Amino acid sequence: MDDIYSKINSLSEKYRDYTASNLSKLVKIKSLSKEEKDAQLELKRQMEEAGFDEVNIDGLGNVIGRIGNGKKILAIDGHMDTVDMGNLDNWDFDPLGGEIKDGFVHGRGSVDQEGGPASFITSGKILKELGFDKDLTIYFVGSVMEEDCDGLCWKYIIEEDKIKPDLVISTEPTNLNIYRGHRGRMEIHVSFYGVSSHGSAPERGKNAIYMASKVALEIEKLNERLAYDEFLGKGSVTISEFISDSPSLCAVSDFARLHLDRRLTWGETKESAVAEIEQLIEGMNAKVEVLYYEEEAYTGLTYGMEKYYPTWKIPENHELVQTGVHTYEHLFHKKPKVDKWTFSTNGVVINGIYGIPTIGFGPGNEVLAHAPNEKVAINDLVAASAFYAGFVYELSTK
pLDDT at 398: 80
Amino acid at 292: Y
Q: Which residues contact 152 (CB under 8 A, 6 or more apart)?
A: 60, 145, 146, 293, 303, 304, 305, 349
Annotate 296-341 with DSSP letters as a single string. E-TTS-EEEEESEE--EE--TTSHHHHHHHHHHHHHHSSPPPEE--
Q: Does residue 147 have an active-site annotation?
A: no
Q: 138 burial class (0-12, 13-18, 19+ CB within 10 angstroms)?
A: buried
Q: By three-state DSSP, how is residue 74 classified?
A: strand
Selected catalytic residue, list 42, 146, 187, 229: 146
This prediction's pTM: 0.95
Contact (CB, 8 A) for 171 and 366: no
- What pLDDT score was predicted for residue 185? 98
- CB 362, CB 174: distance < 8 Å: yes
**Which residue from 144, 157, 173 is spatially nearest to 41, judged by alpha carbons?**
144
Measured in Å, how far apart are the chain's first and last C-alpha atoms? 13
241 is an active site residue: no
- pLDDT value, residue 397: 87
pLDDT, tens digit only, all 398 positions of the chain: 779 999 999 999 999 999 999 999 999 999 999 999 999 999 999 999 999 999 999 999 999 999 999 999 999 999 999 999 999 999 999 999 999 999 999 999 999 999 999 999 999 999 999 999 999 999 999 999 999 999 999 999 999 999 999 999 999 999 999 999 999 999 999 999 999 999 999 999 999 999 999 999 999 999 999 999 999 999 999 999 999 999 999 999 999 999 999 999 999 999 999 999 999 999 999 999 999 999 999 999 999 999 999 999 999 999 999 999 999 999 999 999 999 999 999 999 999 999 999 999 999 999 999 999 999 999 999 999 999 999 999 999 88
- Could you give the domains of the chain? 2-182+311-396 (3.40.630.10), 186-296 (3.30.70.360)
Q: Which of 81, 268, 276, 374 is catalytic?
A: 81
